[in-house]
Structure 1
Amino acid sequence: MTFDLQRIREGRSTEGIRRVLTPEGVEVEFALADRGERLIAVLVDLSVQVFASLALFVLILIIWGVLFGTGLNGTEFFSVALGIVSFFFQFFYFLTMEVFWQGKTLGKHLMGLRVIGANGHPLSLSGLVARNFMRQVELFLPLIAGAGLVGPTSTLSSLVSLAWAFGLSAYIFFDADRRRLGDLLGGTIVVKQAAPVLLPDIAAGQQETRARFRFTTDQLETYGRFELQVLEGVLREEHRPDQEEIFARIVARICLKIGNQSEVAPEFHRDFLNDFYAAQRQHLEREALYGKRKDSKADSNGGP
């Protein structure tokens, strides 16, 4: 496959595929999430939030009644209180999920989606805060205002609020990377979670011969399935003019990450990568049998 390196470096996408360069200089493809899939994921998350917010609000009412022996009087106060609870709950719902579940929420997990950095690098907290804060400006604040949850409203103000919400949300239909404004501000994109497809032939080939390089369990804990798939793509590619240079960069990067102090001679770079692939694959499959799934090096475990 021929890549447009300038397009890759700039992080632009073509035909629903985002191609980026990893720090090791390897091109990685990400399938952009469909807009319909993102909508369904948001609706799932909103449903979870509605029920959770109502449950939290009922709990507040019960605690208030127990402490003060009275309920919350006044429809306006009730609406404002419910709006405030909903606002903070939904903001921290998205932020907390995406921070601790590596870019996923319940809705995204159900649809097989996740948020990643637009340049292919790990997510940053500032980027996640920015994209979720922008969601308030794009959608929730105008909808809350238009629904009259923060005070009296008129038909005109409701229409303006709805137009604001739908107008800003429509940006996703015009962006080549299918980003909403929050993604643009936070430097993120939403992609499809790739189904793990590991190389049986490479692993089998290494098992038939004695491994030249050995790795400890602690060293194999460093990387996850995503990084293994990146390595798989590198080992699959044959006859690249810069293959030895790429092998050298990846070997140096892996050695640095896993704390391997031994120097690997250039003629053994492929052997090192093949052995590491086979050992890493075996380790991840063994961990999966015990319910421990590690999708990437950023994951400490398989859940939120």
Structure 2
Amino acid sequence: MAFGRTDELIPPEGVPLQFRIAGLGVRTAAQICDIMITGVGALALFLLLLALDLVTPETAIAIATMLFFFIRIPYYAAIELMWNGQTVGKRLMKIKVVAADGQSLTAQSLVVRNLMKEAEVFLPGTLLLTLDGAQTAPAIFSLLWVACVLAVPVFNRRRRRLGDLIAGTYAIHLPKPVLLKDMSQPGQNSPTGQSRFTFLTHHLEHYGAFELQTLEGLLRASGMPKGPAQYQRHKDTLAAVVEQVRRKIEYADRVRATEHQAFLTAFYKAQRSYLEQRQLFGDRRTDKHHATSADKS
């Protein structure tokens, strides 16, 4: 059972996807995990400098703060770039960052959202910790700033902080791809169960179980009763998905409008068979980003 606010995202394939928006609690838990990781890294470097006698009591706080700063800045951006919108904390909490327009995440958007995190929380928070009791005005200003930026996600539908609003991103719970009853049994979609469309291995390397589940939902919707306007929208969606799949898998042959349903059904059968075969060898392809993740790791 899904809890929390849901949102619709339309990826380049043109099929609307329903996601559960990551709440403030799970995002805070992920952030705490990441702070602990970067904090441990900063502490290790600080102890190394201390062992080398490069730290004095007068400079200890400044050096520790500087080390924490120079570790967390590349950590957030680099890890989210490498893991397609996830840090270690986000992986543990099973959430990730996505682009609000449904496109792929860009390096620019991930760098911007994480640099804004410094201006939103870390720098004012550091200022609060380093000010002495006599500096009341800067402390109050920093406290008000942190309180205001932390309130931003509470008052917008997608729970986006300032960095997300500027970068065009937001955080979602990872979907759980579960394939429904197998639609690829012979004879379910044609009298002979045969198709003129043939897909080779290099055609099937691009998508994972999540995209297959989405395609399955689209094919199942094809058999539901529709009014004229809804039927036309469904035909347009099929055409857009066929064209997107053809470009993605580099399928050279043209597909006639009357064959869109047959093409997607044949692709579904071939893709499902391929993924099940790969899973037997321990290769679980969760979504279309599996190849990028494997290359980067």
Fold equivalence (TM over 0.5): yes
Q: Equivalents in 2 of 1:257, 1:206: separation in Å?
A: 28
**Which is further off, 244-253 or 231-240?**
231-240
Tell me the secondary structure at the aligned position of residue 179 of structure 1. coil
1:109 aligned to 82, 86, 91, which one? 91
- Partner residue in 1 for 2:22: 33
Shift of 1:251: 1.3
3-state SS of paired residue (1:292)? coil
Which sections of structure 2, spanning at least 5 residues, go unmatched?
none
Matched, 1:170 2:151: yes
Tell me the distance in 2 between the aligned counterparts of 1:292 and 1:166: 45
State the partner residue of 1:298. 289
1:247 matched residue in structure 2: 238
- The residue type equivalent to 1:104 in the other structure is Q
**TM-score if structure 2 supplies the norm length?**
0.85
Match of 1:124 among 101, 106, 110: 106
Q: Are the equivalent residues in 1 in contact too, given 2:96–2:173 (CA < 8 A)?
A: yes
Equivalences for residues 47-196 of structure 1 within 5 A: 47-62=36-51, 65=52, 71-148=53-130, 154=134, 156=136, 157-196=138-177
Match of 1:260, SS?
Answer: coil
For 1:82 and 1:292, locate their aligned partners in 2 and report how far apart those are by CA, in whole Å.
43
Greater displacement, 102-111 / 125-134: 102-111
1:256 corresponding residue in structure 2: 247
1:295–1:142 distance in 2 versus 1, CA, 3 Å = same
Deviation at 1:61, TM superposition (A): 4.1
Q: Report the alpha carbon displacement of residue 209 of structure 1 after superposing the two structures with TM.
A: 2.9
Distance 2:124 2:275 in 1: 46
Residue-by-residue CA offset, 1:103-152 (whole Å, 9 max, x unaligned): 1111111111110001111111111111000000011001112111xx86
Q: Deviations over 1:236-289 (max 9, x none)?
A: 213341222222221122112211111223332212111212222232333344
Q: Post-superposition shift, 1:60?
A: 4.1
Aligned partners of 2:178 and 2:115: how far apart in 1? 35
Q: Distance in 1 between matches of 2:84 and 2:64?
A: 30
Q: 1:164 to 1:288 in 2, by over 3 A?
A: farther
Name the CA shift for 1:53/1:205 in 2 (closer, same or farther; >3 Å).
Answer: farther
Cα gap change, 1:107 to 1:290, in 2 (>3 Å):
farther
Identical residues among aligned pairs (%): 35
Deviant stretches of 4+, over 6 Å: none
Q: How far did 1:224 drift?
A: 2.6
Give the TM-score, by structure 1 length. 0.83
Distance 1:155 1:59, change over 3 A: same
Q: Are 1:228 and 2:212 an aligned pair?
A: yes
Matched, 1:45 2:26: no
Judge conservation of contact 2:116–2:163 (CA < 8 Å) in 1: yes
Give ranges in structure 1 of 5+ residues lacking alignment.
1-14, 66-70
1:160-207: per-residue Cα shift (whole Å, max 9, x none)? 323322321111111111111110011001011000112333234579
